[in-house]
Amino acid sequence: MKQLKLDLSLVETFLQLDEIPSFSEKVLATHHYMLEGATSKNQLLGWHNYPMKDHRGLLSAINELATEVKLQANLCVVIGVGGSFLGARAVQEALTPYFGVHENGVEVVYAGQNMSGPYLKQLLRFMDTREVYVNVISKSGTTMEPALAFRVMEEYMIARYGEEAKQRVIVTTDAVKGALRETAEKKGYRTFSIEETIGGRYSALTAVGLFPLAVAGMDISALLDGARQAALELTSPQLHDNDAYRYAVIRHILHKKGFDVELLASYEPGLASFHEWWKQLFGESEGKEQKGIFPSSVVFSTDLHAIGQYIQEGRRIIFETLIHFNELECDLPVPYLSEDTDQLNYIAGRTFNEINRLSKEGTALAHHEGGVPIIQMELARLDEYHIGYLIYFFMKACAMSAYLLEVDPFDQPGVDAYKQKMLDLLKAPVVTHGGK
């Protein structure tokens, strides 16, 4: 049985009968192109076969160091931006209790994903109240945000822990090159390597994501098992037999019909950061050469009271991709009130998860009637295994989608434009502003 059920019942009315099959040949050719690229050292397709490889050595090294962190600290600060932190945060927030930390892990927080003075200053104050490890992650080693945050954190760790700081700083970077690799070697920090053929936004299942997640208490073997299952299920070159490719083709067809915005939707607030990971994956992979679907996201039912009105009746440029996990960690029933002052006794005894699911079903029907195509994805349980599956599913679909648009899924040339303007301003005469 497939781990992900792709339900097209609320999208079919927007498609012609022969529209999906008309992409079969293009998909076949792209599939073979990807397979060849996956064995080349010059292409960023290393993620493609990654789950099929033997990672026992890496897993035991990660688990061993994570155990040390859990014994010596109660806080791990992960420094990174873009693909170097979004994957870890996505899985951590999806699977950690809403309040408190995971019973098998310690608190993991993030830095270097912004340049906010208050954020960093307050984080330093917070670190004073905890025993700390730092994991700095940057493939290039030169990205401004994490480099600046690491400058501050390294100084803090040395001032606070002296010689012991060497033990408490873990570096994840390119295996041989880059400023961070040089620093790690010079200072004697322990390291994890990022595969040369895996780019940032495709690296969630490597040490980039796995180490912070092991520290946070996640079962990283199960995460990789789920990804491996996806890689196995999604090997077919045939469009009709490969759901990642079907998803890619359907969103491509919708895009051509003027549905330019894709909303990733779910009903569990813990998935909000998973949405952010997905947005980066698709946005940076497809948004180039004036092409690409704009990836956005909503967490319902919260957002039904924010942009639900637009989705129902605004411009018809939106389609939804709705993810649903059947089984969640816990649940509770609506209590019975003898006076029924709020007149909700008619649902007393039904559980919140059940009501949330009915809200999903009702909302999907209403949005569909309002002219919104909805691609529905259903997985058995919100856990490491199924999240690992979904990560691989989306990476494979994303590469295919970008190739269908005839753009390179693995570069991000547009990101340099803002950096150049910022550098010009940074080199201009200094203007000081106040701050806490």
284 is catalytic: yes
- Closer of 139 and 396 to ligand PA5 (Cβ): 139
Cα dist from 310 to 123, 303, 304, 306, 307, whole Å: 37, 11, 9, 9, 5
Kindly state the tokens that stand for 125. Answer: 């104050």
Q: Output the CA angle 433-435-436, nearest 5 degrees.
A: 165
384 is catalytic: no
- Closer of 175 and 317 to ligand PA5 (Cβ): 175
CB atoms within 10 A of CB 411: 14
Cα dist from 354 to 97, 111, 327, 347, 351, whole Å: 20, 37, 11, 10, 5
Q: Outline where 188-219 has alpha helix (H).
A: 207-215
With tokens 């009968």, the residue in question is 17
Give the nearest distance from C-beta 200 to ligand PA5 in angstroms. Answer: 2
Residue 196's Cβ-count burial label (10 Å; 0-12, 13-18, 19+) is: middle
Give the nearest distance from C-beta 413 to ligand PA5 in angstroms. Answer: 11
Give the nearest distance from C-beta 415 to ligand PA5 in angstroms. Answer: 7
From the candidates 233, 268, 284, 384, give the one annotated as an active-site residue.
284
From the candidates 32, 53, 291, 419, give the one annotated as an active-site residue.
419
From the candidates 305, 427, 433, 436, give the one annotated as an active-site residue.
305
Give the nearest distance from C-beta 365 to ligand PA5 in angstroms. Answer: 36
- Closer of 177 and 187 to ligand PA5 (Cβ): 177
Cα dist from 338 to 335, 341, 351, whole Å: 10, 9, 18
Q: How far apart are CA 196 and CA 190, in angstroms?
A: 19
Q: How far apart are CA 206 and CA 317, in angstroms?
A: 36
- Closer of 297 and 412 to ligand PA5 (Cβ): 412
Which residues bind to ligand PA5, rule: CB under 6 A? 81-84, 138-140, 143, 146, 199-201, 284, 412
Q: How far apart are CA 103 and CA 181, in angstroms?
A: 33
Kindly state the tokens that stand for 146. Answer: 């994490």
Give the 3-state secondary structure of residue 75.
strand
- Closer of 199 and 217 to ligand PA5 (Cβ): 199
- Closer of 180 and 253 to ligand PA5 (Cβ): 180
Q: Which of 18, 403, 89 is nearest to 275 (CA)?
A: 89
36 is catalytic: no
Give the nearest distance from C-beta 93 to ligand PA5 in angstroms. Answer: 18
Q: Which residue is nearest to ligand PA5 (CB)?
A: 200
- Closer of 201 and 255 to ligand PA5 (Cβ): 201
Phi, psi of 99, rounded to the nearest 5 degrees: -120, 120
The alpha carbon torsion through 30, 276, 389, 211 (nearest 10 deg) reads: 110
Give the nearest distance from C-beta 206 to ligand PA5 in angstroms. Answer: 11
Q: Report DSSP letters for 81-122, one per residue.
A: -GGGTHHHHHHHHHHS-SSS--TTS-EEEEESS---HHHHHH
Give the nearest distance from C-beta 297 to ligand PA5 in angstroms. Answer: 17
Give the nearest distance from C-beta 220 to ligand PA5 in angstroms. Answer: 20
- Closer of 413 and 429 to ligand PA5 (Cβ): 413
CB atoms within 10 A of CB 154: 18
Kindly state the tokens that stand for 407. Answer: 């753009």
Q: Output the CA angle 24-365-294, nearest 5 degrees.
A: 55
Residues marked active site are found at 284, 305, 419
